[in-house]
Structures are given as structure tokens and as C-alpha cells.
Chains A and B, each alone.
Chain A
């Protein structure tokens, strides 16, 4: 990249003269007051995190005597590993020498040297080469002698990791490697951004790895998550077993699910195919799996009615899985002969290539029933509107909040979010699957309880006032709920 002339002019001038004139040039805006660095924090310590991946440490220090009078922030550094130091020095050296070479070239060719490179005479090239070699040698010598080459120099040894504001006396350093030992340094940053001397931890420490993830430790990390997961899964399992024992399970109807069979039936009467679109995501998306379980039902009904189900997919793996599913469905319907795997085919991974194909295919083959079950993005409306134009019954199910509006607006029935996942349970009709719905409901109860509890305490706290003893206790409880249980 070519530097703007101004920059080149400057670096030239300044390269020769020192920063003095610049200071003068800026004098009219008032010289900065003489640097007045605050005193360093008197004491500093580094602690390993309990229950973490062995890549974090907490640094705590004592307030600098000048804080808050003359401290705007604290800067936290960690020591570089030997490898890092070596690399830094190597890079700095290369940069330093390259810079000197450029200066040497400039000295000969002048400011516009970059534009002249292609028009140099052989003699010029020889001279420049010599000058650059000279400069490089000198620069190398200077660098090796200087402080930049000293691995122990503070600049080489410490890496600024982050900062806290004044009066904030702890900081969590992350992205550490537990194979190394680190020293940490904190500097107080003055109001004029001059820095105090560094307070350095005395002994190097290396973070340790624990067997359970409790980070951030003060919030109990994933302890509470374990409980929530156990309660939820426990509930689902319980209800499934409950159903297996033949106890009745009562669930409400979901409009649209009844319509599935009806839609297939209608397609059969009209002698037109059904179209099933399992979304545009791959098998690593649960929505695709949920969609395919719905396909299982659609395919079986189709097999019974002897209707044709066409399944174009946007992913090879989805195609494979859909074939397994549909084949199995035809088998269970006792019509293995009727199964035709060519009706389940891969189109393209490209979202809009896939849609282009689908809309074309829809207007040509005029399917009587269209099912959109899976992950959808912008294409949702293109499909739904095209389907509507050909007068098909359309049933959509997705958990993409952004696309629900379009399906709701353009389809006959839409399974909204959770209903879509519930659908497979309903359609399979097997009681044990219905059991899982009870588990989901329990989850919702948990939500309601936690919310009402938290909101109640918080509201009460702000009514009686944070300061009052009760208010304090309440807000502490809320804080625990929010920052410990719910993180």
C-alpha cells in the first residue's frame, strides 16, 4: 500500500529531526502538563481459579495511595512466555531493520521512491543495494546492542492484557496455557495517563485444570445447570415410564396436526403428489430431525393411501436419512413394494438454488399438499406464496422465530416453535412419546416459578428500598438467583 504523501513527508522530516519540532508545532494547543504518575499499588497477588479449564487466573491488588485522586484506571499485564519473548524480539528486529532499509532507499531516491522502483537504472540498483545492505548491518548491530533486544526488559517481558477502572481492584486473566508459569503486573494509570511503576507478583504461577467446570467459580459455574438438566430429564423419563405402564396421558389438541392426514388424503383424491420440505439445514440441527419424524408419519399415511410423497433435500445427509425413514415407513405400512427412492433426492446446498428449483417444480407438478417442516430462513415466504398460488394445502412447522410470521401469514396451518417439536410426539401417537410433553410442561412451570419468585423479590426490594435491611437481603437473593442459578 502506498502511503499518502503527507505521511511520508512527516516520517522523513521526523526521521531526521527528532520529535522536538513536533512538540513545538503543537505548543499552541498547550503542552501537556509534566507527567505526574501515581504511586504503584502496594501489594498484588494472583490466584488460580477453582473448577476451571486451567486457563484463567484472578489478580487482586491493593489500592494505590493516589487512587482515586490521581488514578483513572489500572492496567493489568501478564508475563510473556520465553517463546513469546523470542518471537516478539525476532519480529521487532525484522521490523526495525526493514525500516532502516526503507529510510536508506528514501535517502537516495527521495520521497517518491515507491513509484520509481520499476524505472531504476542498473547502476542505481547497485548503489541502492549497497546502501541498504549497509543500513541493514548498522541497524542489526544497533538493535542487538539496544534494550529492544533484552528479553528481561519490561516491554519485552510483559503483555498488557486488560484494564479495570479506578477503585476496581480485581481482574480475571484468561486464555492462559497451563503448561506455562506466569507472573502478573499491575500499574496504576494516572489522570494524565502516565503510568506508575509496576507491582509484580513475586512467585510465578500456572493455572491448574479441574475435573468439573465451575467457572465462573463465584457463581457456582455449571453446578446449578446439572440440577436443572437432571430435573428436566428426570421428569421426561418419569412420564415416559409412566406412559409405558399404560397410565393414560391427556394432552390438548394442536390445530394443524389433524390436518396432516387430511392433506395427504386430499392429495390422493386429486391424484396429485405431496411435497415434503425438511428445511435447508443438515442433520446436526434438531429441527431437521424433528421434521423427519413428521415425514415418517406423512410417508406412512401416504403409503396407506397410496399417494406419492416427493422429498427434495438441500443436504446429502438429509437425503440419505429421509430415504431410510420413508423406506421404513412404507415397510411398516406393509407396502415396501410401493417405495420409490428416486422421489427423495438431493438438489443443492445453496439456499436460493434450492428454492429456485422448488418453486419451479411446484408450479409444474402442482402438489396438492405441501409440508414445510424444519429450519427455514428467508425462503419460507417464497415457498409459502408459491404453494398458495397453486392452491395447495400448506402445513408448516419451524422453530425459527424470524420466519414464523411469514408461515403464519401464508400457510393454512403453522406449528409454532415448541408445537413443532411436540408434533412428532402427537403424530407417532405412541403414549410414551406423549409422556415427553409432560416433561416440557414441567419445564414451563419451572420458568414461571423462577420468574415470579425473582420478580416478586426484586419488586419488593425496590419498593422497600435497597438500603433497608430487608431490601438488602432481597436484592442479595435476587442477585444469587440471577448470577448464580441462572447462568
Chain B
């Protein structure tokens, strides 16, 4: 029961949506399902957030090394949550000045906005910016001409990198625009690589992915693969 009921629900939901896809009247169900899922995910925040608090409060109470950082985490979490949910420092919407709650939670100038603007944004943006360093070290470390495949990989990256700066344009600048060799100008090479090889590769990958997704979905619907339902594979 505890295992079959979910299986039935799952298969039912899946096959209904399969059929719905072909019936004009029910074609909207897909979007509705997505909407419902967002609602479930939003409710699930209670689990996630609760778990987050639990872990860090435990660390704090156990005074495990570095529990101070847990304190920081919990503090910033609760601060953001309170100002956001209670719309602290938010003035009403201009059309409805007498509705205290009508303002938007992320209104410019509100504490929530401040935390977002000067905490959330710089932190995440900087984390994102770290990529610039990692591409560099990856290029230095991983792009070694070990075999023909590797040579192709780094060769292409090389052409594109050059072709996207003045350096590349400069290097092949001596080739006149209208000569039959113009195709060898780096910027043009870049274009061909993107138009032909890149397209071919990505196309095959996408076809493969489509097939993979389809068969995985089917396996799930048929109950061949149930690991995610906690029934394991026995």
C-alpha cells in the first residue's frame, strides 16, 4: 500500500497529461500543473527553511567549532525573512494608500531591498564573477594537447578566443576582405565554426537528450525505475 499507492498516482497523473497534450480542451493543463507545482514548492520551503534552521541551531547549541558562522547564517536568515514577510518599511501602493499591505515587498528603500541590494546582490554577483578566474585556471591546466580530441578542443577554443578580440582581427588582417581567402580571416572562421560544427554537435546532443528524457520519463511512468520513490531497487 505505502508503495503501490504512489505508483498508481504517478502513472495516473502521467498518462492523463500524455493524453491531454492532444486534446485542445485540456492542452492548458500543462501550465496548470506547473502552477500547482510552484505552490507545492513554495509550501515545501517550510521543510527546507526549517531544516536549515535545525542544522544551524544544532551546531550552535553543540558549540561545534565554527558555530559562530551558523549564528551569522541564522541571524541573516531570520532578518531577511521578517522584513520580507512583514513588509517592514514598505509604504502602500499609490493607488491604494489606505491599504497598509498593498506595497510590494521589494520596494526600493525598504529594509528588504537594502539587504537584497547590498548583501544578496554583491555576494552572488561576485561568486558569479569568480568564474573568470576558474576559466583561466581550467584553460591553463586542462587544455593540454594530450591527443587528437584534446587538440581539437583547445584549437577551437583558441580560434574563438582570438576571433573575439582585436588580436585575432589583427593577426589575419593582411587578408583582403574580397579575396577568396577571406574565409580564413579569424572572425570568419569563428562564424563558420559556430554555424557548422557547433550547430552539428549541439543538434546531435539535443536529439540524444530528447530521446534520453523521453525514455527516462517512460521508465518512470511504467514503474521500471522507482528509486526516487524510496522503494529502492531490490
Direct contact between the two chains A and B in their complex (CB within 8 A): yes
| Interface membership of B162, Cβ < 8 A | no
| Interface membership of B170, Cβ < 8 A | no
- Complex Cα–Cα for A286 and B41 (A): 16
Residues of B within 8 A of A408 (CB): 153
| Interface membership of A420, Cβ < 8 A | yes
Could you give, for residues 43-64 of chain B, a 1 whenever the CB lies within 8 Å of some chain A CB and a 0 otherwise? 0111111011001000000000
**Cβ of A54 and Cβ of B24 under 8 Å apart?**
yes
**Cβ of B134 and Cβ of A401 under 8 Å apart?**
no
Q: Which of A336-390 contact B (CB under 8 A)?
A: 342, 345-353, 355-356, 378, 381-382, 384-385, 388
**Cβ of A232 and Cβ of B41 under 8 Å apart?**
no
| Interface membership of A324, Cβ < 8 A | yes
**Cβ of A346 and Cβ of B24 under 8 Å apart?**
no
Q: Which of A272-327 contact B (CB under 8 A)?
A: 282, 284, 286, 289-290, 292-293, 295-296, 300, 315-317, 319-321, 324-325, 327
| Interface membership of A447, Cβ < 8 A | yes
**Cβ of B123 and Cβ of A356 under 8 Å apart?**
yes
Residues of B within 8 A of A352 (CB): 123-125, 127-128
Residues of A within 8 A of B205 (CB): 399, 401, 404, 416-418
| Interface membership of A190, Cβ < 8 A | no
- Complex Cα–Cα for A347 and B207 (A): 33
| Interface membership of B217, Cβ < 8 A | yes
Residues of B within 8 A of A286 (CB): 213, 216-217
Residues of B within 8 A of A292 (CB): 227-228
- Complex Cα–Cα for A443 and B131 (A): 37
Residues of A within 8 A of B213 (CB): 286, 399, 421
| Interface membership of B176, Cβ < 8 A | no
Of A399, A436, A444, the contact of B209 (CB 8 Å cutoff): A399
Of B47, B209, B217, B222, the contact of A346 (CB 8 Å cutoff): B47
| Interface membership of B180, Cβ < 8 A | no
With contact pairs A282-B41, A316-B44, A385-B137 given, residues A293 and B225 touching in the complex (Cβ less than 8 Å): yes
**Cβ of A317 and Cβ of B217 under 8 Å apart?**
no
Residues of B within 8 A of A418 (CB): 205, 208-209, 211-212
**Cβ of B224 and Cβ of A432 under 8 Å apart?**
yes
**Cβ of A296 and Cβ of B131 under 8 Å apart?**
no
Residues of A within 8 A of B37 (CB): 282, 284
**Cβ of B48 and Cβ of A316 under 8 Å apart?**
yes
Of A212, A315, A331, the contact of B23 (CB 8 Å cutoff): A212
| Interface membership of A53, Cβ < 8 A | yes
B62 to chain A, nearest CB (A): 12
Q: Which of A214-267 contact B (CB under 8 A)?
A: 215, 222, 225-226, 232-233, 236-237, 240
- Complex Cα–Cα for A112 and B218 (A): 69
| Interface membership of A409, Cβ < 8 A | yes
Q: List 20 additional A-B contacts (Cβ < 8 Å) besides A317-B41, A385-B138.
A: A237-B218, A290-B212, A315-B41, A316-B44, A317-B44, A325-B227, A342-B55, A345-B51, A348-B52, A352-B123, A384-B138, A385-B134, A401-B205, A401-B206, A417-B206, A421-B216, A436-B219, A436-B224, A439-B218, A443-B215
User: Which residues of chain A have a CB within 8 Å of any CB of chain B?
Assistant: 51-54, 209-213, 215, 222, 225-226, 232-233, 236-237, 240, 282, 284, 286, 289-290, 292-293, 295-296, 300, 315-317, 319-321, 324-325, 327-329, 331-332, 342, 345-353, 355-356, 378, 381-382, 384-385, 388, 399, 401, 404-406, 408-410, 416-418, 420-422, 424-425, 428, 430, 432-433, 436-437, 439-440, 443-444, 447
Q: 4 shortest A-B CB distances, which residue pairs?
A: A421-B212, A324-B230, A316-B48, A418-B208
